[in-house]
Structure 1
Amino acid sequence: MQGIKASWPAIAIWLLAWGLLFELDGTFNLANLALLLVLASAMAGVFLSTLLSLLGSAVSVLLFNWFFIEPRYTLNVHLHQDALLLISMLGVSTVVSYLMSRLRLAADRETQHAQAAEQLRQLSESLREAADASVCAQLLQAFTQQKTKHPTSVLLAEPQRVIGNASSQDQQGLWACVQQCAALGPGSGRYENQTTLFLPIRGHARAIGALAVHRHTSLALGAAHQQLLQQACDLLGLEIERAHNLQLTQQAKQDAQSQSLRNTLLTSISHDYRTPLANLMGAASAIHDQCSRLSTDKVEALASTVISEAQHLHRMTTNTLQLARLDAAPLQIKKDWESLQEILGSVLAKARQRFPTRQILVDLPGDLPLIHCDAILLVQLFDNLLENAVKYSPDHAPIQIKVQAHPTTLDIRVIDGGPGIADAWKTKVFQAFERVHDDIAQADASHDQQLRRGMGVGLAVCQAIAKVHGAKIWVEDHPPQGAALCLSMPVVPQPSLHLQET
Structure 2
Amino acid sequence: MPDARTKATERTISLGLALVVTLVLGWAGINWPNFGTANFALLLLVPVVIAASGGGRMAGLGLAVLAGAVFNFVALEPRLTFAIAKSGDLLTLGVYALVAFVTASVAARLAEAGERARQDAADSAIFSAMTQQLLAAGTREQVLQVAAKALEASTQRGVSLVESIGDLSRSSSQDEAAARWALAHSEMAGRGLPLFSDASSVYVAAHAGRRPLLARLEGSAPQLSRLAHARDMIDEAADALDRLELAARIEAETRRAESEAMRRAIFASIGHDLRTPMTTLRAGLESISYHDPKVINPIRADALRLERTLDNLLELARLQANDALPDVSSMDLTDTIDAAIGALPQAIRDRIEVTIAEDTPLIQSDPIMLHHIVLNLLENAGKYSPETTSIQVLAHRLDGGARLSVMDEGPGIGEDVADLFGLFKRGHHSDCAPGSGVGLSVVDSFARALGHRVSIANRTDKPGTIFAIDFSDRTKLG
**TM-score range with shorter-chain normalisation?**
0.3 to 0.5
TM-score, normalised relative to structure 2: 0.45
TM-score, normalised relative to structure 1: 0.43
